Amino acid sequence: MEIIKADIRDADVVGYVHSTAWKQAYADVFAEEYLKEDTPEKRTQEFLQACNDKDIYYYMIREQEKTVGIIKVVVSCDVCEISSFYLLEEYRNKGYGKQVIMLLKTIFNSMKIQLWVLKDNIKARRFYEKNGFKSTGRERYIDRGNYHTQIQYELVREDWAE
């Protein structure tokens, strides 16, 4: 497994994997009509727009030269926010997530790392907690065909396990 920074030549594969893995992750959570609105083309355009922003980074998780997941990171001041982190269904629970978190700790080692996760996504919350993230106590509501509550998690440098 390798994690590499995506560039403009990777637009179609990033768009496809992002859309596909996102739909797989939320198939039983978000309204079907909402899921249908997300397409590889839409995610490709999102990626291409981000290529012009020096504060947004995409990484591809690759296994034997096949992209099996994506990470989108937005950097602002002293904060690195993981805004998207999705693996294709057949590649989940294989240790990739832990390796991604370790890499992000290395790349963004002087920053707080934050993210938002669905309150009802117990599996994801346990994963982040197991990897050192703590709830900040902040919540927000998002509309994804229905309203959902998200909880903010944060990994502060002082808390990082060596």
Given CATH 3.40.630.30, say whether it is the number of domain 2-159: yes
Written as six digits, the tokens of 50 are 């981000």
User: Domain residues of the chain, as ranges?
Assistant: 2-159
Distance CA 70, CA 60 (A): 5
What percent of the chain clears pLDDT 90, i.e. is strictly above it?
74
Neighbours of 161 (CB within 10 A): 7
Is residue 101 a contact partner of residue 69, using CB atoms and an 8 Å limit? no
Q: Would the pLDDT of 135 be above 70?
A: yes
Q: Would the pLDDT of 9 be above 90?
A: yes
Under the banding of pLDDT at 50, 70 and 90, the label for residue 109 is confident
Q: Which of these, 160, 155, 144, 147, lies nearest to 26 by C-alpha position?
A: 144
